[in-house]
Amino acid sequence: MDLNEDKIKEEVSSFVSSLQKLLPKKKELIYVEPIKAKLTKLSEVHSEAKSVFPMCFTGARLIIRREIMNKVKLIQQYNYGKSKEPYKCFTHLLNKEMEPKSTNESLLLDAAGSATATYYEDLNGAYKMRLTSKIRDLIASETEIVLEKDNPKSCGSITCSMKDVDPNTLRVVTQWMYKIIPEFSMGTEVCFKPLAYPPMPDFSISGRYERPSFALSSTISRAGFQACIFKQFTPDLRIATILNEGNRSGKTTIGVALHKKYQNGSELKIFVDSQCRGGFTFQKDVLFYEPHNEIRVLRLVGSTLIDRQKRVRFGFGFDLDF
């Protein structure tokens, strides 16, 4: 059997082209940052500073997000080794802090076997209601209802959640944020369980001072104290500092992070803290050009973490969003 070099090149090119068709198109991966509202919600009071810090992971991972219907999205995550975030420079002192807040009706399916349904309703323009129901398996579930109201100088919300349809797990959280002057806002959060005895509500108070490229925020509660400084030097360079003190651990940690964006679409996040820990994440989009002027992209993510024992651990992954 004679081997034809042109025939081999044609077969390899056809195979590579078929693999490229499995990748998402570039236009579907473009991330548009949401336009910030004039009022900052209490759960987003530290969002700029904490988003600068990298979410380091170890091992190998593959994350696939695919929209299979109009309002149904499937998330598949495959891990090899410890691919979860083993390090956190800061704690979350506020309810649902830094979690994605989707107000659209949707159904989210996870490869782990859980389903999350969201229903959104605008009540006469004054209140906004969001009902979220998450089912992890046949006996584990979580239901949450949120009522929000925005005013010219304040915004508030009431959240009621229950786990496994057990009234004893009923939890009520109220958040309120008021803009005293255009640059300074104050907010409070009260969390309690009505059916618990004795009822011991958790109370926290937060403050935020912001400018177009600078933000200083802090939160104090029974769990601890936290102060965040965010500074954006250029559209491609951001720096943040977080001071975290926990009442339970009695430790004070100071972390500094840097976020740099490059013109080729790559992003680099680096952090160090006072506990002699550090790490970084680097992501890059690899573009594949097809003959019909279509561009497909593969997002590569690399991570490095250094712990207190000066051990260096690595992580590598792929993120695909169809």
Closest among 125, 124, 128 to 145, alpha carbons compared: 128
Whole-number pLDDT of residue 187: 94
Q: What is the DSSP string of 98-133?
A: T-----S-EEEEETTS-EEEEEEEEETTTEEEEEEE
Exposure string for 41-54, b = 16+ CB within 10 A, e = fewer: bbbbbbbbbbbbbb
The torsion of the CA quartet 255, 260, 266, 272, rounded to 10 degrees, works out to -20
- Look-up of token digits 């509202």: 37
DSSP state of 137: S
CATH number of 40-321: 2.40.160.10
Tens-place pLDDT, residues 224-262 = 899 999 999 998 999 999 999 887 767 888 999 999 999
Specify the range with the lowest mean pLDDT, choosing from 47-61, 108-122, 212-226, 291-305. 108-122
Top mean pLDDT of 29-33, 58-62, 125-129 is at 58-62
Exposure string for 196-214, b = 16+ CB within 10 A, e = fewer: eeeeeeeebebbbebeeee
- Higher per-residue pLDDT: 38 or 227: 227
Query: How much of the chain, in percent, has pLDDT values that exceed 90?
Result: 32
Whole-number pLDDT of residue 115: 80
Question: One-letter amino acid identity for 229?
Answer: I
Domain ranges, ordered by start, for the chain: 40-321
Mean of per-residue pLDDT scores for the chain: 81
Specify the range with the lowest mean pLDDT, choosing from 64-73, 188-197, 202-211, 307-316. 64-73
Spatial separation of the C-alpha atoms in residues 92 and 99, rounded to whole Å: 10
pLDDT of 19 above 80: no
Mean pLDDT of 301-318: 88
Say which residues have a Cβ less than 8 Å from residue 185's Cβ, sequence separation at least 6.
Answer: 39, 40, 45, 177, 178, 179, 207, 208, 210
Query: How much of the chain, in percent, has pLDDT values that exceed 70?
Result: 80
Question: pLDDT-derived band of residue 299, with 50, 70 and 90 as boundaries?
Answer: confident
pLDDT of 16 above 60: no
Whole-number pLDDT of residue 76: 77
Whole-number pLDDT of residue 29: 43
pLDDT of 20 above 70: no
Q: What burial class does residue 30 get, using C-beta atoms within 10 Å of its C-beta: 0-12 exposed, 13-18 middle, 19+ buried?
A: exposed
Spatial separation of the C-alpha atoms in residues 95 and 42, rounded to whole Å: 9
Specify the range with the lowest mean pLDDT, choosing from 25-29, 182-186, 220-224. 25-29
pLDDT of 99 above 70: yes
Tens-place pLDDT, residues 138-182 = 667 888 899 988 888 899 999 999 988 788 889 999 999 999 998
Query: Are the C-beta atoms of residues 102 and 67 closer than 8 Å to each other?
Result: no
- Higher per-residue pLDDT: 207 or 2: 207
Task: State how beta strands 312-321 and 59-67 pair.
Answer: parallel
pTM over 0.75: yes
pLDDT of 37 above 50: no
Whole-number pLDDT of residue 125: 67
pLDDT of 33 above 60: no
Spatial separation of the C-alpha atoms in residues 220 and 226, rounded to whole Å: 6
- Higher per-residue pLDDT: 27 or 88: 88
Task: Retrieve residue 181's tokens.
Answer: 């002057």
Q: Could you give the count of Cα atoms lying within 13 Å of 49 in the half-sphere of its Cβ?
A: 29
Distances (CA, A) of 107 to 72, 132, 216: 5, 10, 36
Torsion sign across C-alpha atoms 85, 99, 224, 142: negative
H-assigned helices in the chain: 5-20, 47-52
Whole-number pLDDT of residue 4: 62
pLDDT of 276 above 90: no
pLDDT of 32 above 50: no
Task: Retrieve residue 217's tokens.
Answer: 């925020």
Question: pLDDT-derived band of residue 70, with 50, 70 and 90 as boundaries?
Answer: low
